[in-house]
Structure 1
């Protein structure tokens, strides 16, 4: 299982509704409002890197009101 965190910036005033929408996407295990340069952090997982990118990340980036994302893939050392 491949896991990642996505840091998300949104249009002003949209983070609460976007968190609710993102939480419904299959593969999203956590979505929460945060403070700082990003508005939302989401934890996601998928069986492979391809499915993570083409499935979960692509669906998140399609959500209206998101202005920028940064994906941080979890690595096991």
Structure 2
């Protein structure tokens, strides 16, 4: 339990600087996909895919979510 708390505490600076005040994060470990939603439900109407395999989800011109494929490749190296 202490290790889990330490990981969360270490993430606080990043979370405080996150570009959205409210967001939801879900991770599907089996599929290795990280979902970040700025609105729930997203109700996205368009998706752009970056070269890095990141899906930017839009409703009209507003970014409502990000889907990161193969998310584990972004792990912090110890």
Taking structure 2 as the reference length, the TM-score comes to: 0.28
Higher helix share: 1
* Structure label with greater radius of gyration: 2
* TM-score, normalising length: structure 1: 0.28
Structure with the bigger RCO (C-alpha within 8 Å, sep 6+) is 1
